[in-house]
Structure 1
Amino acid sequence: MTEPHPEGAGVVLCIEKALAQSGVSREEVNYVNAHATSTPAGDLKEYKALVRCFGQNPELKVNSTKSMIGHLLGAAGAVEAVATVQAIRTGWVHPNVNLENPDEAVDMNLLVGPKKERLDIKVALSNSFGFGGHNSCILFAPYK
């Protein structure tokens, strides 16, 4: 019940539905605040799903708010959405901390490093995944 699909099928479906419902193309997304709970099972599957959905977009940057604050359970999605909006507002994406032994399959160029980075966000995706497939993905973009 808590284990994601081996290929991240629920994550991919959720991202694809968010893109379709918003009318945003996958090429426009250049920032992802990942669900990333620091579990090998979940994180690698989410990473693979992101690569499947967005390819090797050289502009894409991924980070995890949970790397700094832990898992807030029911509040996690709301706090991560706020962090995503703040990244758009300020132009800074927060670091990934405590990532000491990344899986060999992970392209570290996709991840925000151990220090905050400047990013001109076109469209941001905030992921939240719950037990039993209760998944949500929300897209944010700067007001124009």
Structure 2
Amino acid sequence: MDQGFEKAWGAYPADRRRNKVICRQQFERAIKDGTTAEEFVSAVRAYAIETEGYTRSKVCFSDNWFRGERWRRYVEEDREAQIGAVELEENHFRQLAGWVREQHGLCRTISRSQARELLSRGLVTEQELRRAEVTW
């Protein structure tokens, strides 16, 4: 856990770091509540990038940022983006499976790895791939 906190602490803009003990306590609390160290560090990095170049009056000191759980917005946005990416991938493979079943002309654009993925997900059978002339 110390390594994760040190990464988060190091990612926070140096001129805005304050009260490392409080920040460590808040980090540990976030981890206990289910946020991973990677998610937390990513949130700190996103905040640092977002506020780069801001004057000190427009940014938050680390102890306030950690204590106020301002990192939570970044974690939630990242989680939502990951869910969205999974849904897009699932939709893509369902579309490819539809092409295979219909023996659509675009089947020739399906790569071997995509065909293997269709099989492993159970979206098509080997027989359907053969009929559509898709190589796997």
Q: Specify the TM-score bucket, using the shorter chain as the normaliser.
A: under 0.3
Query: Relative contact order, CA 8 A, sep 6+: which one is greater?
Result: 1
